[in-house]
Amino acid sequence: MQAITYHSTIPPKLPQSAKLPSRGKYNISIPSNVPRAISITAPPPPTREVPILDVDDTVTAFWDYQFLFVSQRAEAAEPINLRLVEGEIPRDFPSGTYYLTGPGLFSDDHGSTVHPLDGHGYLRAFTIDGSKGQVKFMARYIQTEAQSEERDPMTGKWRFTHRGPFSVLKGGKMVGNTKVMKNVANTSVLRWGGRLFCLWEGGDPYEIESRTLDTVGEFDVVKDDQKKNSVDKGFKVVDVWDVAAEILKPILYGVFNMPPKRFLSHYKIDARRGRLLIISCNAEDMLLPRSNFTFYEFDSNFKLLQSQEFIIPDHLMIHDWAFTDSHYILFGNRIKLDIAGSIAAVCGLSPMISALKVNPSKPTSPIYLLPRSKTEEMRDWRIPIEAPSQLWVLHVGNAFEEKLKNGNVEIQIQASGCSYQWFNFQKMFGYDWRSGKLDPSTMNPKQGQEKFLPHLIEVSISLEQNGDCQKCCINDLNQWNKATDFPVINQDFCGGKNTYIYAATTSGLRQALPNFPFDTVVKLNTIDKSLHGTWSTRRRRFIGEPVFISKGREEDDGYLLVVEYAVSTQRCYLVILDSKLIGEKNALVARFEVPRHLNFPLGFHGFWAPR
């Protein structure tokens, strides 16, 4: 496939058949002789950045958005020294490795494209030596079962054979293709017990050799003898959904090769207890109006300390969750089965995710408080606390609880959420499976609809001594009203009361891309609800999720790592910020440049592993 060469910040000249955007819509029609937007391979980067002169920003924005998801087929199997282009690493910087995972490949060599969520996992590692002021970089594809099947080891060519939950193949087997659950290990990364793992939303984690980034293989989180010790909590009477589950299991497990238990990509670390918390759900939960969640707690040596299964009488979609000393907390994003979509999905005419829809049938948001131990069972956990606001929760920053003198318990949860009116399974990141293109307008809706976009919230719950809910309210975490996501805190305070929270947000200065991609880091004070400050990157550069690195006893004494994507020059940079100085001119500590031939697409979630 021929790559689009994009030598300056002026977008490629469009042919006469291309339609210019109108009314804020990015309805550019690309002729057949131009590759699809998401199929773009990494172009030769420009030698210099040319200023934009009298160019409609909507056209430039369209191409900028495409280049944020450029496939990268090259790997760096040996460490490469990154070039320092600004500032320097302080000598007190704690040495370690920043791991970042995300999709790396969106198009094969036979005409098929996939949704960014179905892109093969591409693991990046930035090893920082504070004493030497050096950063070494490596990048490897995770050799999952699907990756090994879809990539020819001799020629390096790719042919997609798995549909993936969010995609439909054009150049592969479409109708009758039962290869749906494509474990790409592309969502999050974790190092625990001296071992490194990459996680996905629908299967077992993959273990990675941390020094070479070689793939070890799938990791059996919970062995058979440990599963027998799981405490099952829920209905004791067999009902119609038990029968339906037994009918579905051989189809899902046998025909579609889905794992019985799907581990979620988001885990939690209880730093004060030294525990890793992981959650799984059952494959049939996707199709039934009930949900089975199993929570596992491990010590630092990966010994299973406890596990509990909760059967919840509600059809839920959970991506992220929270915990406190006493509870696991699930925000019930309500979903429902779409019959017409299910038929089309099974036939291969639409993505499998078409079988599901958001379910805005109630004006409230269910919050399930599940006991971490038997001593905490003061209330019927199957009955959710209905928060007086309809909210789809995306990511959780922190949660903690405080016991008052009168015996009541106050629970605070900080998270990012959006409206059911905005969230759409089939249009995440603006990917259109029919055309294989990315539409920036999906993430940047018309003026007046900004209130539906992701923003930071604080959920406050008051429980009486007997467990009854005295009150529950949802408020904006701060007056910062711009689109915001990826909330993070100092992990030493996870599960405890925190003062500061950081997140990725937008400056709002880009007229055609006012909400996404993000270009700013925001720091908020959760106690007095004040805006501490922001740091923004340069024009036509975007950022991913920030990661906090602690260096002292004070909560905000440390650094923030964030990857900067310069789409105008097709370069990536590792940026180090002083977390105390966010909002001041000297917040930027150092910027390191990734070599041009290793420029990589937008990552999802990262992990800081101290040496």
Three-class SS state of 594: coil
Amino acid (1-letter code) at residue 218? E
Give me the pLDDT at residue 276, please. 97
pTM of the model: 0.88
Give me the pLDDT at residue 284, please. 77
Residue 146 parent element (H or E):
helix 145-150
110 is in an annotated binding site: no
Question: What tokens appear for 39 in the block?
Answer: 């199929």
Give me the pLDDT at residue 20, please. 42
Give me the pLDDT at residue 22, please. 40
597 is in an annotated binding site: no
319 is in an annotated binding site: yes
Give me the pLDDT at residue 287, please. 73
Question: String of b and e for 197-222 (b: at least 16 CB within 10 Å)?
Answer: bbbbbbbbbbbbebeebebeebbebb
Alpha carbon 186 to its chain centroid, in Å, reads: 9
186 φ/ψ angles, rounded to the nearest 5 degrees: -115, 10
Give me the pLDDT at residue 14, please. 43
Q: Which alpha helices (DSSP H) does 253-315 contain, by range?
A: none
Q: Say how many C-beta atoms besides its own lie within 10 A of residue 97's C-beta.
A: 20
| Spatial distance between the Cα atoms of 364 and 384, rounded to a whole number of angstroms | 11
Give me the pLDDT at residue 366, please. 94
Q: Contact 94/610 with Cβ under 8 angstroms?
A: yes
Give me the pLDDT at residue 53, please. 39
Q: Contact 394/320 with Cβ under 8 angstroms?
A: yes
Q: Where are the domains of the chain?
A: 57-610
| Spatial distance between the Cα atoms of 133 and 88, rounded to a whole number of angstroms | 7
Q: Contact 472/367 with Cβ under 8 angstroms?
A: yes
* Residues with pLDDT less than 50, the chain: 1-54, 224-229, 235-238
| Spatial distance between the Cα atoms of 219 and 34, rounded to a whole number of angstroms | 42
| Spatial distance between the Cα atoms of 99 and 605, rounded to a whole number of angstroms | 9
Tokens 């917040």 identify what position?
Answer: 587
End-to-end Cα separation, the chain, in angstroms: 42
Question: String of b and e for 305-328 (b: at least 16 CB within 10 Å)?
Answer: eebbbbbbebbbbbbbbbbbbbbb
Per-position DSSP letters for 424-451, written without gaps between them: -GGGGGGEETTTTEE-GGGTSPPTT-GG
Residue 253 parent element (H or E):
none
Amino acid (1-letter code) at residue 544? G
Question: String of b and e for 423-438 (b: at least 16 CB within 10 Å)?
Answer: bebbeebbbebeebbb
Residue 198 parent element (H or E):
strand 195-199
Q: Contact 169/159 with Cβ under 8 angstroms?
A: no
Q: What is the dihedral of CA 484, 490, 491, 494, to 10 degrees?
A: -80
Q: Which alpha helices (DSSP H) does 289-368 contain, by range?
A: 339-346
Per-position DSSP letters for 376-439, written without gaps between them: G--S-TTS-EEESS--EEEEEEEEEEEE-TTS-EEEEEEEEEE-TTT--GGGGGGEETTTTEE-
